[in-house]
Structure 1
Amino acid sequence: MKLAGFERWLKETMGLDASTIGPTIVDRALRERMAAVGSADLAGYWQALRASPLEQQELIEAVVVPETWFFRDREAFAALAQRFGPGGAGERAPERLRLLSLPCSTGEEPYTMAMAMLDAGLSGERLAIDAFDISERALAKARRAIYGNNSFRGSDLQYRERHFSPVPGGWQLGAAARERVGFRQGNVLDIGFLPGAAVYDAVFCRNLLIYFDPPTQARTVAVLDRLLRPDGLMFVGPAETGLMLSLGFVSAQLPMAFAFRKPGATDAATAGAAVAPARAVKPATAKPATAKPATAAPAPGKRASPPAATGPAATAPRPRTAPPTATAPAADASPLQTAQRAADDGRFDEAIAICQAQLRERGPSVEPLHLLGLVYGAIGQATRAEDSFRKALYLDPAHEETLMHLALLLDAKGDAAGARVLRSRAQRHRKHESRSGDRA
């Protein structure tokens, strides 16, 4: 038995295209599990794997390496609140808002969805979030809802004061947000995954599709399309925007939210949202009351969605040219804001041109270089994406988003050692910022 056989098994079982993460990650996972079960060679481990459903889950767990934190890509959650929150632009909110997070990893994304909607003024009784993942370990942590400093990144942590309480080992999420999310194991590639149609007002499926080959990408998007209401929003990762356009979806024109809608949708709220950029989620004025942790519902026996992942992908297909439907930028918009909006609308050539013009006129700067890296990653130009990210890090070695995106780019081409170095740098910076904040 060779490595390729295990890669085929992972493809058939969880949809993972091993070429997108590099052979070193699969090899590392195999060696780890071989040592755990006492197999001396791949052939022996293959027999152990095929004979044990428990070991199959253990190998999946070893391959899945989640990288997530609260309010990652804030614009997506601001757009969600703007579209569905009380008083939102062009709002036609449903009686009960149903959201889907897939894959949900250790819970940071669906809990952020809950916090964003509660802070926007939506009552908890009107909110229901379903969250799926392939990793039972990740789901167990999500249900526990206690998080360390690695889950809280960036300088704006006001939401932590509103929604969390300090406990031994980290921060415990309050019941107000926790009770809005139901966690389950499930596999989007299973033929019986979530039977029915058009039940979700918004679907978050971010940075999953980049790990699939094109047929599996199309199959997955078809399932999610079936689950999304006609006027709903689909949120994907920045490297997946070209794929969504190529599969017929239309940009929702919410800057840097990477949100899409079904073609031909005539939803007034979505059309109205195209005029104004997504607003930041308005902070609540009082911290929710503390309550005892909710008892987690048992997970059904289905397998889960493929691995949580992030960042630009070297294999992302170049999109077809999108129709010029975007509205004109606001008169007071900065060039970088205009570039961000162009990127969100799928007008990648325009975004690149604006960033390059900014660099020519004003000299090297972190933000346009970072945005260039994201755009180049979205259109599959991995070498240019890496070059842009490295230039940004030369100017600001502690720029956390650039460190993480470049790490994922290196992972995708098989440079696991280089990726670990960058993640270590990001972690050291977070610890330094945390200590600085404590002293302040």
Structure 2
Amino acid sequence: MTVSRYFIDFLNAEIGLDVDSIGIMHVERAIDERLRATRSPHAAAYQALLQTDAGERQALIEAVVVGETWFFRDREAFHTAARLARQQFAGSPLRLLSLPCSTGEEPYSLAMALLDAGMPPDSFHIDAIDISAEAIAAAGRGIYGSNAFRGRQLDFRARHFTAVAGGQRLNDPVRARVRFRQGNLFDPALLAGEAPYDLVFCRNVLIYFDRDAQQRAISTLCARLAPHGLLFVGPAESGLLVRAQLRPAGIPLAFAFHPPATDEPAPRRMPRPAPLRSLRLPPATPAPPATPPRIAFATPPAAPPATVADSLDHARRLADGGHFDQASAVCERLIDREGPSADLLFLLALIADASGRPDEAHACYRKTLYLDPAHEQALLHLASLLDSRGDATGARRLAERAHRARGTHDV
């Protein structure tokens, strides 16, 4: 079927969706699915149903929403949140928000990170919100299959999960720290009356909105953020926040931002932490001087092991710790020895991006895509870079490719 303008406008008005960002075919499949489910004879009849049935409007949104998540996705953001929580906690419980929370992997990762950092259970509270009732129900059940556990750093699973029929069940102490509710980011009444949040996670969703919806979403999030707080976004979304006048926190690979500056005196800001390399945090250290000459990054890890995979991991750890020059040198040596690979070039692109070298980042993202045309993260990062330069058409094409790549990889 051909998607009519009505459905495109409906999805944009309800959830800010830029249909091109997920691909028109995805929307067509969702509408066809709902046509069959409601036994509507044709699109016009289904359109009439949407205008009168709030439940069906929600069902279509559920069918369209992209829910791609796993535990500790972009791990450095959780490391940063844990360190900030320890340094900021002064008796009053910290408030954290995850929106959208999908099936719970992100807010539960936050809870695990803070508990592993030694935060008392009653020292923080996490609100988690998603537009999908099905996702909220799944999060409440707290049972996860293998797709929710990716990468090789899975030690948290032994600490916080119990094997059950159908997967891994999250233990109650973690589940008790998160309060789930259904809500729409574009609802003006969302979180009305709630106290501001110290940390807000809104990651990997802004890229699916059109420009106007992105601005509305960012304004809503800033209104819910404490003046001293931080907003965490996805790696491909940093350019959007810079354009909206938010202030980068300067924490390597955390993609965290302070709200825009105001003329009013700001409360005490959260301290800027040294990036962490594991969730087993060291004992708290004294606060740094008021005006440190530079960030005191962690000591670089030991020399890289011999194998290519382990050496790439070593380069990633160096980059996570802010040791960009050393990480780049490891990557270059690997390229000289083994030849270029998409993973190596993508890491070099991230390092250049985080170091404020957009032209170099652009070239490395392009080289990554030459070797792996379906590299989803490279596509999304490059789309964000093009969008920040005013190339909305090029950014949209790359976002569409990223969506197709996700379907190809069945992620």
- Does the pair score TM above 0.5? yes
For the residue of structure 2 that corresponds to 1:104, the secondary structure is: coil
Q: How does 1:153-302 map onto structure 2 within 5 Å?
A: 153-196=150-193, 199-264=196-261, 267=268, 269-271=270-272, 273=273, 276-282=274-280
Change (3 A) 1:17 1:358: farther
Give me the whole-angstrom Cα distance separating, in 1, the residues matched to 2:378 and 2:39.
36
Deviation at 1:143, TM superposition (A): 0.4
Give me the whole-angstrom Cα distance separating, in 1, the residues matched to 2:323 and 2:189.
35
Give me the whole-angstrom Cα distance separating, in 1, the residues matched to 2:349 and 2:43.
38
CA contact (8 A) 2:76 2:320 kept: no
Quote the residue 1:14 is aligned against: 15
Quote the residue 1:320 is aligned against: none
Deviation at 1:405, TM superposition (A): 3.0
Which runs of 5 or more structure 1 residues have no equivalent in the other structure?
285-324, 345-349, 395-401, 425-440
Change (3 A) 1:164 1:11: same
Change (3 A) 1:385 1:269: same
Deviation at 1:161, TM superposition (A): 0.9
Does residue 29 of structure 1 match 2:5?
no
Aligned residues: 364
Deviation at 1:19, TM superposition (A): 1.6
Quote the residue 2:407 is aligned against: 420
Which runs of 5 or more structure 2 residues have no equivalent in the other structure?
283-292, 302-313, 384-396
For the residue of structure 1 that corresponds to 2:96, the secondary structure is: strand
Change (3 A) 1:196 1:354: farther
Deviation at 1:337, TM superposition (A): 6.9
Q: Which letter does structure 2 place at the counterpart of 1:184?
A: R
Quote the residue 2:347 is aligned against: 371
Q: Which letter does structure 1 place at the counterpart of 2:211?
A: P
Spell out, residue by residue over 1:225-263, the C-alpha distance to the aligned partner (whole angstroms, 9 max, x if none): 111111111110001111111111122122111111134
Quote the residue 1:120 is aligned against: 117
Deviation at 1:372, TM superposition (A): 5.2
Give me the whole-angstrom Cα distance separating, in 1, the residues matched to 2:320 and 2:157.
28
CA contact (8 A) 2:76 2:275 kept: no
Q: Which letter does structure 2 place at the counterpart of 1:23?
A: I
Deviation at 1:377, TM superposition (A): 9.8
Give me the whole-angstrom Cα distance separating, in 2, the residues matched to 1:75 and 1:120.
14
Give me the whole-angstrom Cα distance separating, in 2, the residues matched to 1:384 and 1:31.
40
Give me the whole-angstrom Cα distance separating, in 1, the residues matched to 2:298 and 2:280.
22
CA contact (8 A) 2:345 2:367 kept: no
TM-score after normalising by structure 1: 0.72
Quote the residue 1:65 is aligned against: 66
Quote the residue 2:386 is aligned against: none
Deviation at 1:280, TM superposition (A): 2.0
Q: Which letter does structure 1 place at the counterpart of 2:340?
A: P
Change (3 A) 1:246 1:81: same
For the residue of structure 1 that corresponds to 2:47, the secondary structure is: helix
For the residue of structure 2 that corresponds to 1:115, the secondary structure is: helix
Q: Which of structures 1 and 2 has the larger relative contact order (alpha carbons within 8 angstroms, sep 6+)?
A: 1
Q: Which letter does structure 2 place at the counterpart of 1:10?
A: L
Change (3 A) 1:208 1:121: same
For the residue of structure 1 that corresponds to 2:92, the secondary structure is: coil
Deviation at 1:168, TM superposition (A): 1.0
Spell out, residue by residue over 1:394-420, the C-alpha distance to the aligned partner (whole angstroms, 9 max, x if none): 9xxxxxxx8553687888326866542
Change (3 A) 1:98 1:417: closer
Q: Which letter does structure 1 place at the counterpart of 2:368?
A: S
CA contact (8 A) 1:102 1:204 kept: yes
User: What's the C-alpha RMSD, in Å, of the aligned pairs?
Assistant: 3.7
Does residue 151 of structure 1 match 2:142?
no
Give me the whole-angstrom Cα distance separating, in 2, the residues matched to 1:220 and 1:326.
33
